[in-house]
Amino acid sequence: MEIELDTKHSEMFPYAIALARLKGAEQVFVEPRIKGGNSSHWLVPDILGIRKAADKPYIIVECEKSHGNIFDAGGKIDKWSKDDEVRHKAEFHFILRGKAWGRREQITKFLGSDAQYYSYDKLKSKLGPKML
Residue 11 lies in a domain: no
Residue 21 lies in a domain: no
Residue 112 lies in a domain: yes
Residue 131 lies in a domain: no
Mean pLDDT estimate for the chain = 90
Question: What's the distance, CA 10 to chain centroid?
Answer: 12
Residue 2 lies in a domain: no
Largest Cα span, the chain:
52
Number of domains in the chain: 1
Residue 17 lies in a domain: no
Helix (H) or strand (E) holding 116: strand 115-119
pTM of the model: 0.90
Instruction: Find the mean pLDDT for residues 92-121.
Output: 93
Question: Which range (27-31, 66-70, 85-89) has the least confidence?
Answer: 66-70
Residue 72 lies in a domain: yes
Instruction: Tell me the residue range of the domain where 113 lies.
Output: 26-44+52-126
Tell me the percentage of the chain whose pLDDT exceeds 90. Answer: 58
